Structure formats: structure tokens, C-alpha cells
Amino acid sequence: MTLYPLALRLEGRTVLVVGGGAVATRRVPALLDAGAHVVVVAPQLTPALQALASADRLRWEPRRFEPSDVDDAWLVQVAVDDPVAAAEVSEAAEERRVFCVRADDRTRATAWTPAVTRHGPVTVAVLGGGDPRRAMVVRDAIRDGLVDGTLESAAPLAPVAEATPGRVALVGSGPGDPELITVKGRRLLARADVVVADRLVPGLLLDELRPDVELVDASKIPYGPAKAQEEINRILVDRARAGHFVVRLKGGDPYVFGRGGEELIACAEAGVPVTVVPGVTSSIAAPAAAGIPVTHRGVAHEFTVVSGHVAPDNPLSLVDWSALARMRGTLVVLMGLKNLPAIAATLLTHGRPAATPAAVVQEGTTGAQRVLRSTLGDVVDEVAAAGIRPPAVVVFGNVVDALATTLPARRGDQT
């Protein structure tokens, strides 16, 4: 059998979905995304579909199917298990010459749903000649090629809106594991002409760049920190003005102690358009990788992330450490190793108990991850004895032990 592929323009057109279970839950979002007017006929809906119905995103007819339901539809999706009920819908659709997709039995359907992947303006739809597994394997291979840019270097596609020349994207690279960058971040990185990267950016992401991409290592810029930031801002603006698409790749999330705001202001002042792509921040991901949830029901209902870069007794510190000491929830300190003795002493002085569980996660989410579990009272000595080095996050609070007995010890665990 030879198929004839088509793309349906469903904007404002009625699509009838019969059934309100798992299949409908999977199919309805893409129909809504295409702008279809979705009518679901089913005695019951899953909670996800119910939420869409309550939000008026779809119309729900809470009853059994009747053949006249097909009258207004351009397309019918059968999403019921019962073959007799499904056949009834198929027949009604056939009589009215409306295409009908069947989840239960594709041999009796008049239309098939392809495996799909979407990238900016490009939609790829793959049919496996009746073998959905095969279609998905091919689709996945194409998706990987689009994400890492290998497909596009062979046949350039129209630029996506956020990646046109003369723009800057501030992209969070995630905490260290190269797979923890967002899909959008990776897609933009694959299109960059110039990449300005931080020290904490996963090296493997840079390894994938095309040979013609200019890579600026921001950590190698001489001068002090203030001057270096000016220099980075200048490079972003200059390269964008020269007509390049510049990706500023920053560790974790660009706005969590990443100076992303300053770079955004510099670009905006120079009239260079900027896209910001958030990232997975180490303040949450490094504890998670060590088996520590930053919140846990009944244990901690708040978490606070602070910079330990400026010592608590320094008048320039903007952190109210005495208030943090009175807090009962989770405290996550970034850039806190150098000042850890002063930080721990301040928390103790202002009343946080010495027995408060503490953990230090070095190079979280990477192959070199190390975890030290301790207490507020002992952590300073134990960090020194274990030779923990930056980058590391320090976590204080009962969440440190919340899962400790449940999870098996992980690579790098010291206790």
C-alpha cells in the first residue's frame, strides 16, 4: 500500500475525538496546538483532559458516541479500546467521507498519525509503513541531527527567529552534565557563529561546535573581574553588530549569580536584540544529583539560594546572614567554600543548631562529582580534611538526610 502524505491545516476546524482516556490525552495537545476546535465525546475524561475542558480549551460531550457527532468534523480520532464501539465510529466517518484515525486498529483506519518532531518552523513527520516503532527510530535520528546541527550543515534550513544574524542569545548551559542543557539552548548553540563560553560550561558541548565557529573563552580574558566583564560585553556587542549570531553560554542559569542581567543591559543599550534561554541551575541540580531534594514534604517548605562570595562580616555583603540563621528551611550557598568558616560561624552565632545536617557537592552532575555529608558544626573541618575544591554548593537543612536512607550510596559519596 502506498500512502499519500499531507499536512492538515486545522486552525478553527472541528476535530472529533471519541474516548477520554490515555490515547486521547496523548493526541489532544497536538490537535490544540494546531488550532483545531476539539470536541471530545466520552462518558469520562482523564484529569489532564478535564483540566483542558475546564479551561475551555476543548468541548466535552459527557456521553456515549452518536453517529451524528461526525457531522461537523473534518477529522475523527478514535481513542477507545472497545473494537465494537470503535467500528461504529469508523462506519459513521466512512459514510460521511471524513478521515478517521484509529488508535486501536490501524488496519481499519483511513488516516495514520506519523511520528513527529518539530524544530522552529520545520515539522518532520515519519511513517514506517505500518510499523510505528520503525517510524519513531527514524524520527529520533532526524531529531538528533536537527538538534546537534549535523543535518543542517548538509542542507541549511531557514533561520529560526531567535538565531538570526546580529543577535545575542544568553543561554544557560546547565550545571555540568552536557545532557542537562535545555533543548532550546542546544538548538541555538548548533546555530551559533560565535560562542562566548564561561569556565563552568560543560566541555563536551563545545566539542560539538562546527569548526568554523569562533569560540571565545571568557575565563581567559585578562584584566580583573570588572574589566573582564566590560570586555565580554564589548565582544558580544561587536560580534552581533558585525552580523553574527552570538551565543553567550553560561554555567547553570544565566541569571543565578551569572551576571546575565549586566550582559542583557549592555546589549540592549547597544540596540542588539537578545534572547534569554534559562538553564538548569547548580543550586538545585547539584543537591539533586547528590540525592538531596531542596524541598521535601513535611521537612522543608522553603529554600533559599545565596552567594557566599562576599564574607558575612564584610560591610559590602548584601546577605542578611542572621536572618538566614533563624530560618528553618533549606539554605543553599554558592561560591561559599572560601568563606565557609565565617559562614558557618555566623549561622551558629545567630542560632542555627550545630546538629543541622550539611552537605557539600563538588562538581555536581559531572563524572567527577564528590559529596560530603556532615553537620553545620563539623562541616568546616571535614571540608578541609577531604580537600573539597570549587565549584561546589553547600546545603544546610534537614533535606540533606530526607532521602539519605532510601537511596543507595552514589559514586563519590564519602559517607
Binding residues for ligand SAH, per CB under 6 A? Answer: 175-176, 200, 251-253, 256-258, 281-283, 286, 334-335, 361, 363-366, 390-393
CB of 117 to ligand SAH, least distance (A): 29
- Closer to ligand SAH by CB, 214 or 413: give it: 413
CB of 393 to ligand SAH, least distance (A): 4
Q: Find, among 304, 302, 320, 300, the residue nearest to 312 by Cα.
A: 320
Q: b/e per residue, 273-308, with b = 16+ CB within 10 A?
A: ebbbbbbbbbbbbbbbbbbbbbebeebbeebbbbbb
CB of 339 to ligand SAH, least distance (A): 11
The rounded distance, in Å, linking the Cα atoms of 17 and 101 is 10
CB of 189 to ligand SAH, least distance (A): 17
- Closer to ligand SAH by CB, 19 or 279: give it: 279
* Residue bearing cell 542578611: 320
- Closer to ligand SAH by CB, 110 or 307: give it: 307
What single letter denotes the amino acid at residue 84? Answer: V
Q: Catalytic annotation on 148?
A: no
13 within 8 A of 74, measured Cβ to Cβ = yes
- Closer to ligand SAH by CB, 73 or 359: give it: 359
Q: Find, among 115, 120, 182, 195, the residue nearest to 151 by Cα.
A: 120
- Tell me the CA distances in angstroms from 135 to 77, 117, 138, 188, one per residue in order: 20, 11, 5, 26
The SS3 assignment for 205 reads helix
Catalytic residue among 56, 207, 212, 220: 220
Catalytic residue among 104, 198, 250, 253: 198
Q: Catalytic annotation on 198?
A: yes
Stretch (H or E) spanning 249 = strand 245-250
CA triple 347-352-357, angle to 5 deg: 100
- Closer to ligand SAH by CB, 45 or 205: give it: 205
- Tell me the CA distances in angstroms from 219 to 18, 235, 246, 362, one per residue in order: 58, 13, 17, 20
The rounded distance, in Å, linking the Cα atoms of 18 and 80 is 7
- Closer to ligand SAH by CB, 98 or 256: give it: 256
Residue nearest to ligand SAH (CB): 252
- Closer to ligand SAH by CB, 15 or 284: give it: 284
CB of 291 to ligand SAH, least distance (A): 14
For every residue of 314-377, DSSP letters joined together read STT----HHHHHH--SEEEEES-STTHHHHHHHHHHTT--TTSEEEEEESTTSTT-EEEEEETT
**352 burial level (CB within 10 Å; 0-12, 13-18, 19+):** buried
CB of 206 to ligand SAH, least distance (A): 16
The rounded distance, in Å, linking the Cα atoms of 169 and 248 is 6
Residues 6+ apart with CB under 8 A from 391: 200, 251, 282, 362, 363
CB of 258 to ligand SAH, least distance (A): 4
Question: Which residues are identified as catalytic?
Answer: 198, 220
